[in-house]
Structure 1
Amino acid sequence: MKKLIIFCTAFVLFNCNGNAQKENKNTFKVSKTDAEWKTELSEMAYYVLRKAGTEPAFSSPLNKNYKKGIYVCAGCNTPLFKSEHKFDSGTGWPSFDREIKGNVAFGTDTNLGYSRNEEHCATCGGHLGHVFNDGPRHTTGKRHCINGAALKFIPEH
């Protein structure tokens, strides 16, 4: 009986693969192979969107873009942020006080040894950046700190 309990315990432990923590690529409306993403995205956009990388601060021309328009996912063109919600956070990355509801998904990032609220495109799963609670107090109090390489800007006409 003791051997049976040990066997069952070992079986359960070794077969629990933690699917809750793995990204299921089939849950996104836009799903492509890694090779397809590499051919369609710039090197930096691929690094940010598909490998959860971070572009260097102050490197994106979108950081100081204050034209009217909409910011869409560089991977699938899903509208993510409106220009009227953009502000200069001084951090070196495009910052917004709110997202377009339903188009941004949230998760937890612990890669730096502490927990951060990570943002993804809800359509293709591309990594966008992180959201913090140090944004403008007169609006939402949120700062969506987004990699410019994860975005494309479409000006208003």
Structure 2
Amino acid sequence: MKNIFSFVIILFLISYSCNAQNSSIKNKIYKIEKTDAEWKKQLTPLEYNVLREAGTERAFSSELNQNKRKGIYTCKACETPLYKSEHKYNSGSGWPSFDRAIKENVELDVDYKIGYARTELKCNTCGSHLGHSFDDGPQETTGKRHCINGVALKFIPYKVTK
């Protein structure tokens, strides 16, 4: 009887620990928080699906995929600077790809939506889904590929000075 009681207590503690870790990730408070109705009013249906419901745009559908201009890529939902054009490269994947983010503006999370763990990339200001990170990026730089939905980004060109 004592062994069963100990076993039940251990299971309870493990379960409580796991739930506490999951709830801290899911219940993170972002600097910018809005209701679903407010996001739907601000974003197009495709933007809402990708940014707020972690959807994915069709490959090769974003005009930003082939963008070679110099500038900053910001979050479409809150305009937080996320990526610099000098870290963008053509991965051939069909989505804008970067080998690194602007430090501390993109957070990593774990996504199990397709049955196994993937590294999800989110805006650290509003929690919007951006895309995923993979370890098949340029080996001469970081080795990372941030595969980003173009619809999640707004491009702001650098100002030309004379």
TM-score, scaled relative to structure 1: 0.88
Shift in Å at residue 111 of structure 1?
0.8
User: Matched residues in 2 for 1:106 and 1:44: separation?
Assistant: 22
Percent pairwise identity = 60
Which amino acid is the alignment partner of residue 32 of structure 1? K
Which amino acid is the alignment partner of residue 125 of structure 1? G
Post-superposition CA distance 1:3-51 (Å, at most 9, x none): xx6xx97xx69x95935324225x1000000000000011111101100
Q: Which runs of 5+ in 2 are unaligned?
A: none
User: Matched residues in 2 for 1:47 and 1:19: separation?
Assistant: 28
Show the counterpart of 2:146. 144
Which amino acid is the alignment partner of residue 58 of structure 2? P
- Residues paired across the two proteins, number: 150
User: Matched residues in 2 for 1:41 and 1:75: separation?
Assistant: 7
Which residue of 122, 131, 134 maps to 2:133?
Answer: 131
Superposition misfits of 4+ residues, deviation over 3 angstroms: none
Post-superposition CA distance 1:85-130 (Å, at most 9, x none): 0000000000000000010000111111111111000000000000
TM-score, scaled relative to structure 2: 0.85
User: Matched residues in 1 for 2:56 and 2:20: separation?
Assistant: 25
Report 1:67-78 matches (<5 A): 67-78=69-80
User: Matched residue of 1:145: which SS?
Assistant: strand
Which amino acid is the alignment partner of residue 86 of structure 1? K
Q: Closer, same or farther in 2 for the Cα pair 1:19/1:75, shift >3 Å?
A: farther
User: Matched residue of 2:37: which SS?
Assistant: helix
Report 1:1-157 matches (<5 A): 18-22=19-23, 23-24=26-27, 27-157=29-159
Shift in Å at residue 144 of structure 1?
0.2
Q: Which runs of 5+ in 1 are unaligned?
A: none
